[in-house]
Structure 1
Amino acid sequence: YYTLMHPEDKIWKTGIDLVKKLIDLAVIMEAPNLLVVPGVVTSTVSYDFGYKRLEEAIWKLKEDAEKKKVGLGIENIWGKFLYSPLEMRDFVDRFKSPYIGVHFDVGNVIQYGYPDQWIRILGKERILNIHLKDYSETINNIRGFTHLFQGSVPWARVMNALKDIGYMGYLITEVPPYPFCPEEGIWDISRKMDILINGDY
């Protein structure tokens, strides 16, 4: 895919152009923020190269984002990259823009950190959106991602951290549909989100 860390210039530039088109779509849809997948460090894309490549791409996108008032939220994915809240904080801070921030995924961080600590370190000014999903440390691989309240996410600590920093943005669930009666999953998600938001735990 057209990652912003891709070593081939043509593919890398196409990735930047695609994000610019997505910014335009966000304006049309009145979406305040856009999730940006940073890319993946591999045996052929070194950490330092990928870091510089992504940084250069974000600089090229910054003007568009600011002009059109669409936030670019860099997501903490399983990409062997930006696995520290301090490093993520410092990366977005270098752009000195309220339109360059973090799309923080609570479940993605469980394997290598504590989501409540990430939330407090990143702070309200950097977190543009929140992804809610759970992750089971017992399974501890890609199949460990699961529905809310079924994994290892410390939900009370997460919600307390969000309240403490004054986060008022979106909470977006990212969970798979039920294999049977998938529409029931919508009601279950809604009920669980009510519990989290209302503090009924």
Structure 2
Amino acid sequence: MKKSIGDNMIPKVWSFERGLDLVKRAGYDGIELWLGDMPWFQMATSDAEVRELRRKIESAGLVVSNVSTGLHWASPLSARDPKVRAQAMRIVEREIETAQLLGTDAVLVVAGLVTEEVPYNEVYQRCVDALRTLGPTATRAGVKIGIENCNSEQRFLLSPREFRQFLDDVNSPAVGIHLDVGNIHDTGFAEQWIEMHGPRITRIHLKDVLKHRGRSGDQSVYTNLFLGDNDWAAIRAAMRKVNYDGWLIAEMESRYRFARDQQFHDTAAAMDRLIAGDL
């Protein structure tokens, strides 16, 4: 397995080049690029500019592990407004295009959002329809679409069987699950999700979670690796059982008030121990 971390962890006041240097020195193999999150990688970023990002990444001794985006929280595939849905489709298409330019074969997509106004069944069908349309595009590009399990934040696809049925209904070899072991905080156990989805896992996001502490104000349930309630030995055993040997990508909240670069080093060291099974 190989280690990656998102470019959205780079302090906002840093340059891309300075961030890449830190990622490399901390011991990562690659970097996850977040479309729309950082100034250097936006929907308006040209193909030539994307190629230049790849050049800088490879010059730093890294590769792109995958392309992700948070843009679907504002523009979901499940929106009732057809203009919003069209924008959501274009976001996925641009992820696929940039993945090709960056030399990676996976993108992350947040499939849909259940709200008081847009009910579950409506969200489900719109997302299935959208992904059936996008699947052939991804196949032609040689890219896998990984639907992220955002669980309670989406109020959608809350159990592993439910998620498996969703993928069955989409019925595309180019659409799988980008499995986030921290997002399962109040809807199950990450190791069970890994075992159930196995070969459909496109990438794995890593973070820990405080399952026994609910949200209070702006307090998050998420924390650094090994500080929360995830059963990391069981997670490692499940990855071994399904022969997962792909990218592990740290998706951390910035917790360090001082020496912020230290979080990169500490997270990489924890990932090394997880990969080695030294738990």
Q: Give the TM bin, normalised by the shorter chain.
A: over 0.9
Give structure 1 regions of 4+ aligned residues with deviation exceeding 3 angstroms.
Answer: none
Two-structure CA RMSD over aligned residues (Å): 1.1
Aligned match of 2:201: 127
> Deviation of residue 99 (structure 1)?
1.4
Using the TM superposition, name which of 79-88 and 171-180 deviates more: 171-180
Q: Deviations over 1:70-92 (max 9, x none)?
A: 11000110211000101111211
Aligned match of 1:199: 277
Aligned match of 2:229: 152
Structure 1 residue aligned with 2:177, among 102, 113, 126? 102
Secondary structure at 2:127 match in 1: helix
Structure 1 residue aligned with 2:91, among 1, 5, 18? 18
- CA–CA distance in 1 between the matches of 2:173 and 2:270? 31
| One-letter identity of the residue aligned with 2:135 | K
Aligned runs of 1:107-186 on 2, under 5 Å?
Answer: 107-123=182-198, 125-141=199-215, 143-177=220-254, 178-186=256-264
- CA–CA distance in 2 between the matches of 1:81 and 1:50? 8
Q: Is the 8 A contact 2:209 2:228 kept in 1?
A: yes
Secondary structure at 1:102 match in 2: strand
Identity %: 36
| One-letter identity of the residue aligned with 1:57 | A
> Deviation of residue 126 (structure 1)?
0.7
| One-letter identity of the residue aligned with 1:67 | R
With normalisation by structure 2, the TM-score equals 0.70
With normalisation by structure 1, the TM-score equals 0.96
Q: Is the 8 A contact 1:111 1:140 kept in 2?
A: no
Aligned match of 1:80: 155
Q: Deviations over 1:95-135 (max 9, x none)?
A: 33331000000010021101111111111x21000010011
> Deviation of residue 40 (structure 1)?
1.2
Secondary structure at 1:117 match in 2: helix
Aligned match of 1:56: 129
- CA–CA distance in 1 between the matches of 2:265 and 2:117? 44
Aligned match of 1:30: 103
> Deviation of residue 94 (structure 1)?
2.7
Q: Which has the higher contact order (CA 8 A, sep 6+)?
A: 2
- CA–CA distance in 2 between the matches of 1:99 and 1:81? 21
Q: Is the 8 A contact 1:5 1:40 kept in 2?
A: yes
Runs (5+) with no aligned partner, structure 1:
none
> Deviation of residue 176 (structure 1)?
2.0
Runs (5+) with no aligned partner, structure 2:
1-73
Q: Deviations over 1:49-80 (max 9, x none)?
A: 00001111101111110000111000110211
> Deviation of residue 140 (structure 1)?
2.2
- CA–CA distance in 1 between the matches of 2:143 and 2:278? 33
